[in-house]
Amino acid sequence: MTTSTVIPTVIVTGASRGIGAAIAPELARRGYHVIVNYRRDADAAADVVAGIEAAGGGATALAADVTDPDAVGALVSAVRADHGSIDALVVNANTAPPPFAAFADLAWSDFAAKVTGELAGAFHITQRVVQVMRAQGSGRLVFVGSTAADYVGGGRLAHGTAKAALATFARHVAAETARDGISVLTVAPGAVRTEATAAILDAAREKALADNSVLHRVLEPADVAAAVGLALDPALRPATGSVLRVDAGWSVLVGGPAA
């Protein structure tokens, strides 16, 4: 008699670089076949897939602009056709890089682009994947939020507003899907070294962040990836609807430097 092992499938949006490119191999290591979603950079996505395969895991790169409902529909259909189930979804894509500006200098168009881009990148794919998970009777969703949802300053008004809306969206989805066997967590990082933050995380800013965190260091994408891996663990189902902060203890100390 032969026994077949069913390999769970996870979609990670925006996995061609930055935090998503660290989440993808972490989830492959945890036994998932990873759908490495990206928008434009096919070579970078192929590198992520190659790295996973070299380590003995399974991954597929699939392009889709996750703010476009038609592209999302095609992505979800392709994953179902190839893998049958969608066991987990990580909503990570940096669909709308934040305009860092004080309120007085912030243009409505930049604010609106950030908030609508963030929410479009979560809304369409979550809605489609939840349909699939409901039919399966199980699934896990993780949203990559930000400590900017709760802490003000640094010209992060648009980013913080968008991430606060994302966290609220995640809580509502958690409430409406729990009876279908779906659990939801938001992982909220502090500042992480990626291409997206290269322009604002200079040495002085990194030192200030490190000095004001319990762990005396800034975050790397791998720190967030590890938390996302834990957030997908079925043992955390009772934590559905909650937010897991990953900020090296920065939020513990807001207002004063580490001892």
Binding site residues, ligand NAP, CB under 6 A: 13-20, 37-41, 65-67, 92-95, 121, 144, 146, 189, 191-192, 194-197
Name the residue number minimizing CB distance to ligand NAP.
Answer: 18
- C-beta separation of 124 from 69 below 8 A: yes
141 closest CA partner among 71, 239, 62: 239
Closer CB to ligand NAP, residue 67 or residue 126? 67
Nearest distance from residue 162's CB to ligand NAP, in Å? 8
Report in angstroms the alpha-carbon separations of 20 from 9, 36, 172, 257.
16, 8, 24, 30
- C-beta separation of 9 from 83 below 8 A: yes
Nearest distance from residue 221's CB to ligand NAP, in Å? 6
Closer CB to ligand NAP, residue 183 or residue 197? 197
- Cα angle 185, 230, 39 (rounded to 5 degrees) comes to 65
Report in angstroms the alpha-carbon separations of 146 from 120, 141, 176.
17, 16, 23
44 closest CA partner among 74, 22, 66, 68: 22
191 closest CA partner among 140, 243, 153, 142: 153
Nearest distance from residue 5's CB to ligand NAP, in Å? 30
Closer CB to ligand NAP, residue 93 or residue 142? 93
Closer CB to ligand NAP, residue 100 or residue 134? 100
Closer CB to ligand NAP, residue 17 or residue 140? 17
Nearest distance from residue 166's CB to ligand NAP, in Å? 8
Nearest distance from residue 81's CB to ligand NAP, in Å? 20
For 96, list phi and psi in degrees, rounded to 5: -145, 90
Closer CB to ligand NAP, residue 18 or residue 138? 18
Q: Provide the residue type at 219 as one letter.
A: L
From CA 139, how far away is CA 194, in angstroms rounded? Answer: 29
